[in-house]
Chain A
Amino acid sequence: MASVDDLDIDLDSSAPLLEVRDLRVHFVTDRGVVKAVDGVSWMVNEGETLAIVGESGSGKSVSAMTILGLIQSPPATFPSGDIFLRGKSLMKMPEKQQRKLRGREIAMIFQDPLTALNPVFRVGDQIAEMVRNHQKVSKVVARRRALDLLGEVGIPNPAVRLNQYPHEFSGGMRQRAMIAMALANDPQVLLADEPTTALDVTVQAQIMALLVKLQEDRNTAIVLITHDLGVVASHADRINVMYAGRIVEAGTTDEIFYEPRHAYTFGLLSSLARMDHRRQERLTPIKGVPPSLANVPPGCPFHPRCRFATEACVVAVPRLETVSGNGHLAACVHSDQVGMANEERLAQ
């Protein structure tokens, strides 16, 4: 079992496991500055699942990719922000130490395993390679570890599968193989970027059940990045809702689903068709389209689509403020009205 100590990095065990503070990731393009992530802060602790929910263009994936150093600069710039693993700044760390931590303490699962697995190497070799990248073990030991991991993620006949290539795996099996690879070094944090979006629902259920089991066994922190509110409802402890590069609402899963206080969250929840509801006459959509990140509306980025919007929404970007209890935050001028509208909705 890899421990943090042999990395020669001082980690403060009382600090949050992973913390992102005021992160900004901008891209300079010929259409202007694309503010993919614009001042985002969150943290996650062991054994916890934090969901980051948003639509395409909300910046939800970019923050995760930044944590893993997958965003290259240029074209990206990082005007502000830092990432802390147990209180230790990742961004101020020398490149070499960063690489040590990534893949070992923080690992990522992608939406499309085909792009993350190398098609010309055997699956077993790729997992063993991952082990040997971070641990001084012999090839034999690394392969045995790969075999164990394939078994652990529920791949039948792991000894045979070890010697196969990614294309010989089905979609669900590939996703399992990628999870095995992510787990190769017992990471403390697992970033899962749309891990089941490309899969069928019955396979999605398998993969989510696997992640839950792994989390229970290893007390891993999971950051679940997705657009699927159903998956979030059944698996997240806390939720950050992102819109146009910013977090617009943050809270526990129950707070977000039953007491939304941002107009966007409220709009999303109201617009969903539900399998457990008999037919409603009409769905209640959010009007308009999500903004381009190169051209975010002034003030609250959601105001052009918002049914509660007033002139106050255009003046300044609303700050994330506590709206109830401890840690339920919303960046909405009209959070009270949203709250009341939501009570009406639930009463129906």
Chain B
Amino acid sequence: MSEAVDPVGNGAAQISVSQPAGTPMIEVTDLVKHFPIRSGVFIKRTIGHVKAVDGVSFAVHKGQTVALVGESGCGKSTTARAILRLIEPTSGRVELDGVDVTKLGKEKLRQARRDMQIIFQDPYASLNPRMTIRQILSEKYQLMGVAIKKSTISDLLDTVGLAEEYADRYPHEFSGGQRQRIGIARAIALNPKFVVLDEPVSALDVSIQAQIVNLLEDLQDELGLTYLFIAHDLSVVRHISDRVAVMYLGGIVEIADRDELFDRPHHPYTQALISAVPIPDPKLERIRETIVLRGDVPNPANPPSGCRFRTRCWKFEQLSEGERQRCIDERPALNPVSGSGHRAACHYAAVREVVRA
């Protein structure tokens, strides 16, 4: 598909970056979540903090999808849960359609939940095994004080491609893909403004993933949903998102419009991450270069000084002694690297092509 006739991808991406008109649907500013590490037998004392999310900022415009990608422990799921206040953020601001969610009192927050929803990764764990599908889907209406019409549940099931006659069955009677549809139905009931998709297809069989991805895209078009897509599978990210933020050890290291990020990655971690994803194309794989990083992700309770990625960074190894010192001493800011809202947090950011579209 050429860029010129790609109205959703390219055109929309420009809106999210250069068009200041209108406020974003969701705007996250300097979000922080520290988990205390407690120790002691009788009286628990705080002996340190795991900095799961350490100053994250981004925005998602209406009808758009921003992907938050990274490996396990990078803080992407914590970020999503802190935005939804499923866990209480330590500090920072989250504005949903202009309202700061972090400041809402109990009842206001409860009402705001109607507008912000989440679809979970594991369709086996996210449905109460002792409730029927009808009970699971009705609960939200009851909680929000909205009357359920006779057709409500069947319409909802219809929207996600399930037949109404299964409404009175229990979750264990469905396959993974079918359960994920139920999870989606629960989330989109009552037309939320903003939906977090927490790895919604990674637990599903390969042949089912495409069904769910298509369903999510259709729903976005029909209902005008705004998505935050949490993922580690970059293939699906490239397909579904308008803008991508890459996280490493609690912070965003690079953020850009989708094609810009994949075609012109600037941060050495983004480059390694993209290069490590195998592409289902043997001839391409034979000539393609994989950047193999050393070691594992450091313990977030005790992250490296300066740039958090430097202990595994391939570029760090190529730097001179003097250049390295800067990585050790100074934490790089998320600075613009080129036009159109492309930012990277690296002192020595430079393009390296790792995948050719």
Contact = CB atoms under 8 A, between A and B. Distances in A.
Contacts of A295: none
Interface stretch (B101-109, B273-281, B300-308, B326-334): B273-281
B283 to A, nearest CB: 7
Interface band, chain B: 35 or more
A268 B259 contact: no
A278 B280 CA distance: 15
A320 interface: no
B296 A170 contact: yes
B44 interface: no
A227 interface: yes
A145 B157 CA distance: 60
Given A55-B206, A279-B8, A230 B277 contact: yes
Interface string B328-357: 000000000000000000000000000111
Interface in B277-295: 277-286, 288, 290-293, 295
Contacts of A281: 1
A283 B213 contact: yes
Nearest to A156: B295
B72 A229 contact: no
Contacts of B296: 170-173, 203
A282 B217 CA distance: 8
Nearest to B208: A289
Nearest to B70: A200
A232 B282 CA distance: 8
A250 B6 CA distance: 38
Contacts of B291: 205
A267 B282 contact: no
A90 B238 CA distance: 47
B123 to A, nearest CB: 12
Contacts of A257: 280-282
Nearest to A274: B235
Contacts of A234: 278-279, 282, 285-286, 288
A217 interface: no
A276 interface: yes
A56 interface: yes
Nearest to B9: A279
Nearest to B293: A202
B236 interface: yes
B280 A272 contact: yes
A282 B213 CA distance: 9
Contact of B238 (A231, A269, A273): A273
Contacts of A201: 71, 232, 234, 273, 276-277
B276 to A, nearest CB: 4
Interface string A163-199: 0000000111100000000000000000000000000
A336 interface: no
A283 B175 CA distance: 21
A44 interface: no
B38 interface: no
B211 interface: yes
B293 to A, nearest CB: 5
Contacts of A254: 282-283
B280 A285 contact: no
Interface in A256-276: 257-258, 267-269, 271-276
B159 interface: no
B206 A274 contact: no
B262 interface: yes
A290 B284 contact: no
Most buried by B among A55, A200, A204, A282: A200
21 contacts: A55-B205, A56-B205, A201-B276, A201-B277, A227-B206, A229-B206, A233-B285, A234-B278, A268-B206, A268-B207, A271-B209, A272-B210, A272-B235, A273-B240, A274-B238, A274-B279, A277-B357, A283-B214, A284-B210, A285-B208, A285-B211
Given A171-B296, A233-B280, A285-B207, 18 more contacts: A170-B296, A172-B296, A200-B71, A200-B72, A202-B71, A202-B293, A205-B291, A229-B280, A234-B288, A272-B210, A275-B235, A275-B262, A276-B281, A276-B284, A278-B6, A279-B9, A280-B1, A305-B207
